[in-house]
Amino acid sequence: MSFTASQSSACQLVPASLFLNASLSLKGRAMSRLLFLSAAALLPSGALAQEPDFSRAAQVTVTLSSFDFAPSSIHLRAGQPVVLRLVNAAGGGHNFSAPEFFAASAIREQDKGLIYKGAIELRGNQSKDIALIPRKGTYKLRCTHTMHSMFGMKGDIVVD
Ligand SMILES: [Cu+2]
């Protein structure tokens, strides 16, 4: 910026610069509001794009008992949303432990808390639903409760 002749007439310069600042900040505010609005408009669709529609997902029931998974070989389609319904038919607790499977899958946001250290715990006669999108692979499944897998409580999950 160069101040030449106008520098002497400060009384004219000051209001002009105030006006300029005011119009700039108005523009800035309008611009940030516009950016905010477009960001807000993007958020819901972005969230939808990330969170798939599980309402029409196939449901696959896995029954846990002492000491078995039924079926012991779970077959899923890669990339297809699915709701795993885990049903503990036993009076005692069991878990559905498949750390590699869960790590490879896209878990529905609200269900992430069901998994602790790669396993879903079920008290006696408890059921839990977990929605996810599995990734191609073969994964080990077992119950990590003491001796349960030795007694036969193990299986696999085949995703193709
Ligand atoms: Cu068990």
- Which architecture does CATH list for 58-159? Sandwich (2.60)
CA of 156 to the centre of ligand 1 (A): 15
The model's pTM: 0.70
CA of 142 to the centre of ligand 1 (A): 8
CA of 76 to the centre of ligand 1 (A): 22
Give residue limits of the domains in the chain: 7-50, 58-159
pLDDT in tens, the chain (160 residues): 444 444 444 444 444 444 444 444 545 555 455 444 444 445 544 444 567 889 999 999 999 999 999 999 999 999 999 999 999 999 999 999 999 999 999 999 999 999 999 999 999 999 999 999 999 999 999 999 999 999 999 999 999 9
CA of 3 to the centre of ligand 1 (A): 83
Three-state SS annotation for the chain: CCCCHHHCCHHHHHHHHHHHHHHHHHHHHHHHHHHHHHHHHHHHHHHHHHCCCCCCCEEEEEEEECCEEECCEEEECCCCCEEEEEEECCCCCEEEECHHHHHHCEECHHHHHHEECCEEEECCCCEEEEEEECCCEEEEEECCCCCCCCCCCEEEEEEC
